[in-house]
Amino acid sequence: MNEVLKNIYGRASVRRYKPDKVPEKDVREIIKAGFHAANGMNRQALEFAVLENKDAIKKYNRKAILLYADMIRAAGHSNPMVENMVKNPEADIFHDAPMLVFVFANPSAVTPVEDGSLAVGNMMLAAHSMGYGTCFIGFAAGLGNDKEFRNELNVPEGHRYLACMTLGKPDGSMGTHSRSEIKILSWVK
Amino acid sequence: MNEVLKNIYGRASVRRYKPDKVPEKDVREIIKAGFHAANGMNRQALEFAVLENKDAIKKYNRKAILLYADMIRAAGHSNPMVENMVKNPEADIFHDAPMLVFVFANPSAVTPVEDGSLAVGNMMLAAHSMGYGTCFIGFAAGLGNDKEFRNELNVPEGHRYLACMTLGKPDGSMGTHSRSEIKILSWVK
């Protein structure tokens, strides 16, 4: 098996991190790998932000949980896991990661969600190949429309929030990652 | 630079293919790599379909173009590139690729578009590492609700269309792939 496949099969989402930050040149390499992903009509509309201030991460963790709960409630759903996070002041959607990388898109993007996800995918694989761990944090989505967050991260009006990824040195081994059987619906020859 | 980064920077969307099909074991490896991508709450909801029948590909190419044009018009947009494809019976959104891989999600998916895009990203990188070319075909999206297409590909009702990817041996070199400067909006330390 080649190194690329080994890296794909060896990657798993990391939810325990060492406190060490990732050196800036490695963060830039990882973001560059993300920016190099395929993107709709080659608009290259993605933009990135790095958050590594511990107090800010803590503040936005709490804010994100409350905003996510609001989103769930507004959609008329109930989600016990989210309601438990609201009640638990220790709940941490960022898994105590030392750094967060956020992805946005300027308005020229034609397929922003796809583009942002492809970029996160590349960043996760690049980071893993360099010995770092990552996790795509869907629970952070509520921050996308939060004024304080957007101001602090210098996000221009009209530019869309797409994704949040934790980044750091894994604390402990990745463990194995079992997958259910792959479902091939059809193979039309 | 490690092999994973080299593979990420060396990949580019391929729009010219040799007629040769990809051996089934390689297609299955590529799909497996896609299925191994990160996915929301580990629902593992993705499903795949392979289409390699030339007549069917030709039929759905034309259908996809007309359906995409309908989507654009219904959204009140005008898109000269799409209108030109409608007028040109030779227009080929699949770039004469010998095989197409489609991605769907069952209703348990919590972040279907992100999951599907992450899977395509893994498949593009796995395929490139194995000497194959790919292209994410956004123009095929209209097929997602087409009854004939869904029946032919055995897609259960309520399962969502997510993506179409061409797959084959590249005809000619990949060429270089220039990227604009990466925009880092902020780096909060």
pLDDT digits (tens, 9 = 90+) for A46-83: 999 999 999 999 999 999 999 999 999 998 888 899 99
Chain A 56-95, CB below 8 Å of chain B: which residues? 56
- Identity of the residue in A5, A29, A188 whose CB atom sits nearest the CB atom of B51: A188
pLDDT at B131 over 70: yes
CB B49 to CB A185 under 8 A?
yes
Nearest of B142, B132, B186 to residue B164 by alpha carbon: B142
pLDDT digits (tens, 9 = 90+) for B107-126: 999 999 999 999 999 999 99
pLDDT at B177 over 80: no
Q: What is the H or E stretch that residue B112 is in?
A: helix B112-129
Q: Which domains does chain A have, with CATH numbers?
A: 24-168 (3.40.109.10)
- Identity of the residue in A135, A153, A185 whose CB atom sits nearest the CB atom of B155: A185
What does A49-110 look like in DSSP terms, one character per residue? EEE--HHHHHHHHHHHHHHHHHHHHHTT---HHHHHHHH-TT--TTTT-SEEEEEEE-TT-S
User: Nearest 10 degrees: CA dihedral of B49, B52, B54, B59?
Assistant: 10
B179 contacts in chain A (CB < 8 Å): 35-36, 44
pLDDT at B25 over 70: yes
Residue % of chain A over a pLDDT of 90: 93
CB A185 to CB B104 under 8 A?
yes
Residues B48 and B101 sit within 8 Å (Cβ to Cβ) = yes
Q: CA A70, CA A151: separation in Å to the nearest integer?
A: 21
**Mutation for testing the B interface, residue in A35, A122, A134, A160 having most B CBs under 10 Å:** A122
Strand A99-105 to strand A46-51: parallel, antiparallel, or no bridges (unpaired)?
antiparallel
The mean pLDDT of A158-176, rounded to a whole number, is 91
* Average pLDDT value over all residues in chain A: 96
Residue % of chain A over a pLDDT of 70: 98
DSSP, collapsed to helix, strand or coil, labels residue B128 as helix
* Average pLDDT value over all residues in chain B: 96
ipTM rounded to 2 decimals = 0.96
Per-residue confidence (pLDDT) for residue B79, from 0 to 100? 86
- Give the model's confidence band at A176: pLDDT under 50 very low, under 70 low, under 90 confident, else very high: low
Chain B 97-156, CB below 8 Å of chain A: which residues? 104, 110-111, 113-118, 120-122, 124-126, 128-130, 135-136, 138, 152-156
pLDDT digits (tens, 9 = 90+) for B29-73: 999 999 999 999 999 999 999 999 999 999 999 999 999 999 999
User: Nearest 10 degrees: CA dihedral of B56, B60, B62, B68?
Assistant: -170
Nearest of A123, A121, A135 to residue A26 by alpha carbon: A123
What does A93-107 look like in DSSP terms, one character per residue? TTTT-SEEEEEEE-T
Per-residue confidence (pLDDT) for residue A175, from 0 to 100? 66
Residues A38 and B136 sit within 8 Å (Cβ to Cβ) = yes
Q: CA B12, CA B8: separation in Å to the nearest integer?
A: 9
Q: CA A46, CA A107: separation in Å to the nearest integer?
A: 10
Residues B46 and B103 sit within 8 Å (Cβ to Cβ) = yes
